[in-house]
Amino acid sequence: MKADAPVKRYPFLLLGIATFGLFLGAGLVSDAAKTSELGRTVITVLRVLIIPLWLMRDLEMLLGFGNWPGPVELVIGFPFLFAPYILADYLLYRARVALPSLSGPHSHATYERCS
């Protein structure tokens, strides 16, 4: 398996994980960094990228995940945060299989048909 295979197979999930990491990192930086030009730009981008995670967390609260014991909520609720990204990756994969022209000449779907 090539090193870039996970990037091609799970681009949305990797985006979600990177966004979550940036979100955690933005909370740890000092107030001086938040007021800098770069800090304001990063926080603005994060406000847009964090929307799917925020919506899933709201859905979890509506379903009552917030009332569960901490370890159970972590095991079940945390992966649930990334459900929109996993669904987007699955839909992209299905589109690439159904429409090989979307995948390019070296895609997974083209490789499967050739072998």
What does the block give as tokens for 28?
A: 């740890």
Which of the four pLDDT bands, split at 50, 70 and 90, describes residue 106? low
Contact (Cβ atoms closer than 8 angstroms) between residue 52 and residue 85: yes
Contacts of 83 (CB under 8 A, 6+ apart): 56
User: Tens digits of per-residue pLDDT, 47-93?
Assistant: 788 888 888 888 877 877 777 787 887 787 788 888 888 999 999 98
Nearest-angstrom CA–CA distance, 32 and 72: 37
What does the block give as tokens for 81?
A: 């945060």
pLDDT of 103 above 70? no
Amino acid 111: pLDDT: 47
Contact (Cβ atoms closer than 8 angstroms) between residue 81 and residue 56: yes
